């Protein structure tokens, strides 16, 4: 499979404001991205996506005929578009208003006004999501590594699983809560745990503590991917034995280097 580069990306830009359209196109052009289709709202976007699915959607939060979250819900409900890469551009800073996006598997949130470097990172994450690049670990066969992926958001699990599969980690078992993972671990072994923090019954900290107290799984590397990675209370996450933490939405290109370090440290 030929890998995409930024200049080959086809982007659907959803932005009602002509001025903001011009700003975004100029910034994208600076990253060598020129294949940009512009629409103004939800219905126009859906029509374009169904006919000619883009590689990436970059969207404002609000449209005259709806919102980005309404569009996301429509797309994620369709198998064909369930993993379509999505970047949100918004001046919204309230955490509770952005949480639904963080749990929907989007690639990045660009806060207006954003620096060129932020767009560069977001595009790099999109490229990493779209491209396959097998992970090489000196002392392990990546194809045989057993991964437990735990997150109460189905959309987040889908996005994370796609990134793991791009790295050659195809043996992924998914759970929607830590309690189900604990039941699974009673009779099964894993080589890597990727977990969310907040879950209804058993959260990521409690799951990690269970892992560390088990003679069979105490050594297993733990990667936490959470929308609360910048909160001060996550100090207890590291105390529980989590090896690495990524924020939602996460830079897909970082996972590879994190996994390499985690397994090198274990070896």
Whether the Cβ atoms of residue 103 and residue 153 lie closer than 8 Å to each other: yes
Q: Which residues pair with 57 in a beta bridge?
A: 12, 86
Domain made up of 6-130: CATH architecture: 3-Layer(aba) Sandwich (3.40)
CATH class entry, domain 142-266: alpha beta
Q: Where are the domains of the chain?
A: 6-130, 142-266
Q: Cα–Cα–Cα angle for 205, 155, 164, nearest 5°?
A: 70
Residue with tokens 């955490």: 95
Confidence at residue 18, expressed as pLDDT on a 0 to 100 scale: 96
Query: Digits of tens for pLDDT over the chain (267 positions)?
Result: 457 788 999 999 999 999 999 999 999 999 999 999 999 999 999 999 999 999 999 999 999 999 999 999 999 889 899 889 999 999 877 777 778 888 888 889 999 889 999 999 999 999 988 887 778 888 888 889 999 999 999 989 998 999 999 899 999 999 999 999 999 999 999 999 999 999 999 999 999 999 999 989 999 999 999 887 556 667 888 888 999 999 888 888 889 889 999 888 765
Distance, CA of 189 to CA of 174 (rounded, Å): 14
Would 6-130 and 142-266 be classified into the same CATH topology?
A: yes
Spatial neighbors of 117 by CB under 8 A, at least 6 apart, are: none
């Amino acid at each position: 499979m030929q890998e995409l580069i930024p200049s080959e990306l086809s982007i659907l830009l959803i932005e009602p404001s002509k001025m903001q359209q011009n700003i975004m196109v100029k910034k994208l052009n600076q990253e060598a991205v020129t294949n940009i289709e512009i629409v103004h709202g939800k219905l126009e976007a859906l029509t374009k996506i169904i006919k000619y699915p883009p590689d990436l959607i970059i969207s404002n939060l609000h449209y005259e005929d709806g919102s980005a979250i309404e569009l996301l819900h429509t797309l994620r409900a369709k198998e064909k578009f369930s993993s379509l890469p999505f970047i949100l551009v918004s001046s919204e800073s309230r955490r509770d208003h952005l949480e639904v996006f963080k749990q929907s598997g989007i690639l990045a949130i660009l806060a207006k006004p954003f620096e060129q470097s932020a767009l560069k990172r977001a595009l790099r994450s999109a490229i990493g999501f779209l491209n396959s690049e097998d992970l090489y670990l000196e002392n392990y066969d990546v194809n045989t590594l057993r991964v437990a992926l735990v997150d109460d958001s189905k959309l987040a699990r889908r996005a994370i699983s796609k990134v793991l599969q791009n790295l050659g980690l195809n043996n992924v078992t998914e759970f929607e809560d830590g309690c189900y993972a604990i039941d699974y671990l009673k009779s099964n072994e894993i080589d890597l745990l990727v977990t969310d923090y907040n879950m209804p019954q058993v959260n990521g900290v409690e799951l990690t503590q269970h892992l560390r107290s088990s003679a069979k799984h105490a050594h297993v590397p733990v990667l936490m991917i959470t929308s609360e990675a910048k909160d001060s209370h996550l100090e207890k996450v590291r105390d529980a034995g989590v090896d690495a933490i990524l924020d939602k939405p996460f830079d897909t290109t970082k996972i590879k280097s994190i996994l390499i370090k985690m397994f090198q440290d274990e070896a």
